[in-house]
């Protein structure tokens, strides 16, 4: 019999992104180069080398507070200004990189963004993996 996990979630609309998540964030992927996210109080600019997502602007929309195994987690969703569709979920946390803890932004439980450029693809720490990734 497989283990069952109870998940409870609630959503609330927001129009301002949290201060801890604001700033410029970078993610490196060996195939696509750098992805850059610039997050301000009211907008999010997402830019990478792919023509599909070269430059899109998003607005903070919802904060999901999910409880998984009696631990609360916060997932932020930003909506595209042009097509009113949700883009990805984001979580804020800290991760040890080169012996020091740095703030990170986790996209969809798979991609680690830092405030500095690096040529390394970091693996998301277990405590920050999204509920949907299950890894």
Domain segments of the chain as ranges: 7-128
Residue whose structure tokens are 């409870």: 8
Q: Going by C-beta distance under 8 Å and a sequence separation of 6 or more, which residues neighbour residue 10?
A: 64, 65
pLDDT value for 78: 73
Please give the Cα distance from 45 to 100 (Å, whole number). 28
pLDDT value for 135: 43
pLDDT value for 116: 96
pLDDT value for 115: 96
pLDDT value for 97: 93
What tens digit of pLDDT does each residue of 31-76 get?
888 889 888 887 788 887 764 554 566 666 555 555 545 556 677 7
Please give the Cα distance from 121 to 29 (Å, whole number). 6
Average pLDDT, the chain: 75
Q: Going by C-beta distance under 8 Å and a sequence separation of 6 or more, which residues neighbour residue 61?
A: 13, 14, 77, 78, 79, 86
Please give the Cα distance from 77 to 88 (Å, whole number). 6
Residue whose structure tokens are 């998540």: 21
Q: What is the pTM of this model?
A: 0.74
């Amino acid at each position: 019999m497989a283990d069952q996990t109870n998940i409870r979630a609630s959503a609330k609309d927001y129009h301002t992104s949290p201060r801890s998540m604001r700033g410029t964030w970078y993610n490196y992927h060996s195939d696509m180069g750098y992805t850059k996210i610039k997050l301000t109080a009211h907008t999010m600019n997402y830019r990478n080398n792919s023509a599909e997502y070269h430059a899109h602007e998003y607005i903070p929309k919802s904060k999901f507070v999910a409880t998984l195994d009696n631990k609360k987690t916060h997932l932020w969703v930003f909506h595209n200004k042009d097509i009113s569709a949700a883009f990805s979920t984001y979580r804020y946390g800290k991760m040890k990189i080169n012996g020091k803890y740095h703030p990170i932004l986790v996209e969809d439980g798979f991609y680690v963004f830092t405030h500095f450029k690096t040529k390394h693809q970091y693996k998301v720490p277990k405590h920050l993996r999204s509920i949907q990734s299950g890894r």
